[in-house]
Chains A and B, each alone.
Chain A
């Protein structure tokens, strides 16, 4: 028999539940990861009344989440990609900002240094000019050190961040495993809010590292990295850890709990961004800056060695810089050690290298995986030579042993001025040539330059006497052919003669002892500013620094453009997901009104049922 009272009560309860759910939705309007819920109603099984059926009210069949797993997955993927670019962009901006100020960058320091060198050439014996040059050299070295040190500290910061990310990933994977466990305890019938919580945890995890979600039986999920490395397997989290890099003890890699290094398999998320930054921007930038420092040091030192200082001594080193670093793999079993040194600096690249022994031969690979052919045999007398580096192997290697070589990573931070006394600046040529006053020909000294500053006889006196217009003797011996336009070379110098000498004419080359006003070498050092010293002689120091600025600028710009695009994509996927799952307050307000009305109506039904019952009672009392 149909019972109006129970029908009314069913409506009342349904409305109450719907009101509760609406209230729940309104309360969670700002909850991250919340999915709006909806009460699902169904008519109760009707009662049979003769040949007809009479309705018995409403049943609440469930409270569902308005959830679309595809849209949620899209948000998760977009979050991972956006987070990677965000982190990369933030770190890249720091390098970008470091190089941004046109007055604080390397270029003004380079220009001031070479300008001071020109001033020295205009005034080689003046102590004020020498002092100014030394000052500019120190500020140039200081600028290189500052830039190098700042890049090094960015490297440390990135390394630190990797550790932080791993900690957060472990916390989140543990939480996800915990939620899985709770879900398991509900017998695979979890509350909507628990599922929301897990989705939100996975979304948070994707901001740290790119993940895949694989649904499992019983409403549980497995979470893996983009490459399939498990992070959560149902109720158990698979924690990651950081381990010291096998080569470079100042760096850390990410490893699984059993120690397998998975750094190269990680992508996406902040962790992916940091690793990308380190590999594709920071390392090349440090190496490029270091390479500029090495090229500067090499070119200026080589020329300085060919000069003579105020005390009549050959010039020593002008700048100091860092030597290439080599790191043996911790797993190496052989006793081999590798020493790397700079060779032809113009061939240097901005890459790091791995050198590997396969049991019979050594091979060299750049950090981008390109194999580089080496010449030589690796002994001190005949080192392996490739890309402007020379490698000497000592000890014996076992098959599989490998070494990491960082040629210029720390060179900039280690640059300093080797000269302390202004008298040590070698502005003059160590040798001077004179024409004998008794010469009858038109031969004149066009210039003398040092070709080999290490020649022990460089500064020994030499007399060149022409025995005929085309032949000459040196120090009274030999007979050499003179070709006009070709220099006369001996003892590490090269003498250019102009005009036509006659038989009996003589020229003297001797130590330039009193030539304090000679600026030959200063002029040559000043010329280094526009000399091709890198990339096989095609790039000047300015070019190489401009390249670095251009590369960093381009990478940062790309990251920013990519971030803009990815943020738009992320916003679209969040909008799409929110359009389905987000709470709309107006809608909830309307629901509130609707369910309030249905509640009031159901109450009215109960009131009618009660009135009906009362009339029956009254009728019975009346009889």
Chain B
């Protein structure tokens, strides 16, 4: 068989060029660390790499979101921890205030501290985060949520709660509106509340209240009326007597599944209102104690009344503490969720990165051995070319 000299050279050169292109491609794979240099190297892989990159970017973003959520939740928890200590301190002060041996000056001093604590509580409720946004204002984060005006504190925020996405399709609330934390706390024992009539004149002081049978409690409004210092009757809203009996100091009066302890002696005509718990805010509870302590205490009735009001306010204070505990428990649960999700995301991140690496990164061991093989091939082709092209009959025609 004959072959053409031109083609022999040409095809040998083409083969060498092909080998060179292969070497260059492998070299690029090694030097860039990328197995897929252009999508055409592995179209399915390139498209999968994009999806994996996206999933990884989203996962990283969720981690950022979790960090932001943790920071907000941590901030809130920290503030509420201070609120909790503050309420404990106020409770201690209130109990001190109930001590019968105090004179008006002592009570005034306690009242002064409670008023200071009240201002401190308002300041805590107006806590700002690092960006200068109020954390208890709902979504109205640029509006000071709690404003002291006159005797009360009003809420100017809204009921919004900021949700942050911590995983695909999963969001978590990263705050609680101030109205849910500091306000709308059920008064009394949470089921019902009692209040002495302002016209009472005796030395009756209400004590512990409890619900003995919630099934019997109908949430109605009742009055305990003392018809004589040792007789009482309970009337409902339509003034119908539903229960009556005799009373002695230290007795517990019970009706409709609720129990109320009393000490001291009422005058005939004294009464207590019993009704379902209504919403109360923390600030007014503190103000109630201070008001009680600041009221004059000349007569035995005055002293009893102060004790009674402080006692009822302490009951409200306990509900406020319960609320703070509840909110902190919710924050704790959210922090647990973000921690779990964060661990999960970290695992997913590792999986995604390893999958991405498998898809798009060069396998150095195999790439380098391929490169060696290709270089050996190229060297052999070059050597063979030189040797073969040197062979010509014309060399011998001399």
- Give residues in A with beta carbon < 8 Å to B: 29-30, 36, 92-93, 96-97, 99-100, 102, 105, 107-108, 110-112, 114-115, 118-119, 121-126, 428, 432-435, 437-438, 445, 512, 514-520, 523, 526-527, 529-530, 542-543, 545-547, 549-554, 556-557, 560, 571, 574-575, 578-579, 581-587, 589-590, 592-593
Contacts and interface: CB of A to CB of B under 8 A. Distances in A.
A433 B158 CA distance: 9
Interface string B148-177: 000000001111101111001001000000
B4 A583 contact: yes
Interface in B245-261: none
Given A96-B38, A102-B360, A553-B42, A514 B143 contact: yes
Given A122-B69, A530-B168, A517 B184 contact: no
Interface in B4-38: 4-7, 11, 14, 34, 37-38
A124 B162 CA distance: 10
Contacts of B64: 115, 118-119, 122
Nearest to B129: A123
B397 interface: yes
Q: Range of interface residues on chain B?
A: 35 or more
Given A571-B11, A575-B7, A550 B131 contact: no
B350 interface: no
Nearest to B57: A111
B68 A122 contact: yes
B392 interface: yes
Given A118-B61, A516-B142, A549-B43, 8 more contacts: A29-B5, A96-B38, A97-B38, A122-B69, A514-B158, A549-B47, A575-B11, A579-B3
A169 B141 CA distance: 73
A115 B131 CA distance: 20
Nearest to B141: A517
A339 B317 CA distance: 70
A542 B49 CA distance: 11
Nearest to B38: A100
B162 to A, nearest CB: 5
Contacts of B51: 542-543, 546
B131 A123 contact: yes
A519 B163 CA distance: 7
B241 interface: no
Interface class of chain A by DSSP: helix
A542 B53 CA distance: 10
A196 to B, nearest CB: 14
B298 interface: no
Interface stretch (B101-109, B132-140, B288-296): B132-140
Contacts of B34: 102
Contact of B38 (A93, A529, A585): A93
Contacts of A100: 37-39
A578 B7 contact: yes
A87 to B, nearest CB: 16
A28 B137 CA distance: 93
Contact of A530 (B37, B58, B60, B142): B58
Nearest to B44: A550
Interface in B49-74: 49-51, 53-54, 57-58, 60-62, 64-65, 68-69
Contacts of A581: 4
Given A432-B160, A437-B184, A553-B47, A118 B7 contact: no
27 contacts: A100-B37, A102-B50, A102-B53, A105-B50, A108-B53, A111-B58, A112-B57, A123-B131, A125-B141, A514-B142, A514-B143, A514-B156, A516-B139, A517-B162, A519-B163, A520-B163, A550-B43, A553-B43, A556-B39, A557-B40, A574-B7, A578-B4, A579-B2, A582-B7, A584-B2, A585-B5, A589-B392
A428 B48 CA distance: 35
A509 to B, nearest CB: 11
Contacts of B168: 530
Given A428-B139, A517-B139, A578-B3, A122 B65 contact: yes
A527 B183 CA distance: 33
B46 interface: yes
A518 B2 CA distance: 85
Given A517-B133, A585-B393, A589-B397, A546 B47 contact: yes
Contact of B133 (A121, A125, A428, A543): A125
A590 B392 CA distance: 11
B158 A434 contact: yes
Given A432-B158, A583-B6, A516 B47 contact: no
Contacts of B141: 125, 516-517
Given A549-B47, A589-B394, A584 B133 contact: no
Interface in B340-398: 360, 392-394, 397
Contacts of A515: 138-140, 158, 160
A122 B164 contact: yes
Contacts of B41: 553, 557
Contacts of B60: 115
